Structure 1
Amino acid sequence: MTIQWFPGHMHKAKLEIQSALPKIDVVIEVLDARIPYSSENPMLAELRGDKPCLKVLCKSDLADESMTQTWLNYFEETANVTARAVTTEDVPTIMRLKHVAAKMVPYREGRTAINTMIVGIPNVGKSTIINYLAGKKVAKTGNTPAVTKQQQRVNLGDGVTLLDTPGVMWPNVHNHKSGYRLALLGSIKETAMDYADVGFFAAKYLLSEYPDRLMQRYDLDELPTSELQTIEAIGRKRGCLGRNNTIDIDRASRILVTELRSGGLGKLTLETPKMMEFEKAQTAREVAEREELAKEKDAKRKKRFKDKQKRERKAREMGGS
Structure 2
Amino acid sequence: MHEQARLTRDHATLGKVGDLVSIEDIERIYSTSANANNAVKVACANAKCKVKVGITIISRAKLGRKKTPSSHFRGSHIFGCDRKPAQAAQTPADVSPTLPANPLKSTIPVVWVNPVGTFQGTGSSKPGSPGQVNPSGTSASGRSRVGAGTSQSQSQRVERFAKAWLELTQQARKAHPLGATWNTGGTYASAFYPFDYLNTQTMVPIGEKIHTASIESGKVSSGDFHIHLKEQTASTVPKVVIIDAAILNSSTAGQALAKHLTNQTPLANKTYLFFFGAFQTNPTTGQEELTVAHRYHFYVQT
TM over 0.5: no
Q: Of Structure 1 and Structure 2, which has the larger fraction of its residues in helix?
A: 1
Question: 1 or 2 for the larger relative contact order (CA 8 Å, sep ≥6)?
Answer: 1
> What is the TM-score of this pair, normalised by structure 2?
0.26
Bigger radius of gyration: 1
- TM-score, length of structure 1 as denominator length: 0.25
Task: Report the structure, 1 or 2, having the larger strand content.
Answer: 2
